[in-house]
Amino acid sequence: MAQPASLAEVWRGPFHESHHLGHAVICDGAGQILSAWGDPDAVVLPRSSSKMIQALPLLTSGAADARGLSTEQLALACASHQGAPVHVARVNAWLSDLGLDDAALRCGPQVSRDTDLKLEMIRAHDAPCRVHNNCSGKHAGFLTLAQHLGAGPDYVDPEHPVQLACLDAFETVTDQPSPGFGIDGCSAPNFASTMHGMARAMGWFATAGQRSDSLSTAAARLVEAMHRHPELVAGEGRACTRLMRAAKEPVALKTGAEGYFIAILPMRGLGIALKAADGATRAAECAITALLVRLDVLDAANPEVTAFLRPTIRNWDGLATGEIRPAPGLLV
């Protein structure tokens, strides 16, 4: 078994203070590994980086078209959003269209990560709702599919038809049986796969527009929705949103908890899966940015890119004390 590779380094002045290890795989549309760091066979929970896979049954079932879902709603189905007003209003409207409200969501309440809205709610003594949860868009998609299937309200149960459809889609696009699942932060099952399996799936998404089967057509629509609405996939200030906007070509990027990140590159037919072994978001953001610079999808000189490629570390007095850098070998 290959060992994790160095993905990112932390420097304080002239000293290499610490580093982050992990795994990264780049695959083409046929699932062939083009480049790899660490262990492609490492089994990992992709967390929210798998949301576009979980959204596939929403389209292939006919539920999305039966409800006339917009590209904004498809982007939200793949999102880990900020819980900002732009996200909350759209998810609430979606629930209303389903004849449902916040109580129907199974994702649990979460404090908004939008600073202004969070402070406004604190001042008003308003408790966070489930719609503020970063996964509420995905769950609105689950509810839409559950209604279409005539299934019960406990759509996060691993044996529920919604989750069985998600598992089938996951195993199809990763091209391997999942060894199991963990319960995600939003209470839904999160299916495990190897790093190669996830990179293969992202390469499959990247080439979906070249095929005409229903699953591929669904994938292409989700990718299009994500790069059309980057502000809904994450939010202002977030790596997914900023890097999608900064890219030289249409791409879909998605973070996941515990240092996971994926990239879908339709113009190149490539997919990337990346995992920081210690779960550090700062490492995953730096490393995925480096790989996208390596592929010339991002310009290293762009300030939006530099913010994640070589972010400055500052102390409490605002002094620049160091920086995070991609590990040698990721950029070239």
Task: Write down the pLDDT at residue 332.
Answer: 83
Task: Write down the pLDDT at residue 2.
Answer: 82
* CATH number for domain 5-326, candidates 1.20.58, 3.40.710, 3.30.70, 2.60.40: 3.40.710
pTM over 0.85? The answer is: yes
* Residue-by-residue pLDDT tens, the chain, 332 positions: 689 999 999 999 999 999 999 999 999 999 999 999 999 999 999 999 999 999 999 999 999 999 999 999 999 999 999 999 999 999 999 999 999 999 999 999 999 999 999 999 999 999 999 999 999 999 999 999 999 999 999 999 999 999 999 999 999 999 999 999 999 999 999 999 999 999 999 999 999 999 999 999 999 999 999 999 999 999 999 999 999 999 999 999 999 999 999 999 999 999 999 999 999 999 999 999 999 999 999 999 999 999 999 999 999 999 999 999 999 989 98
Each residue of 291-321: b (16+ CB within 10 Å) or e?
bbbbbebbeeebebbbbbbbbeeeeeeeeee
Measured distance CA(95)–CA(105) in Å, rounded:
9
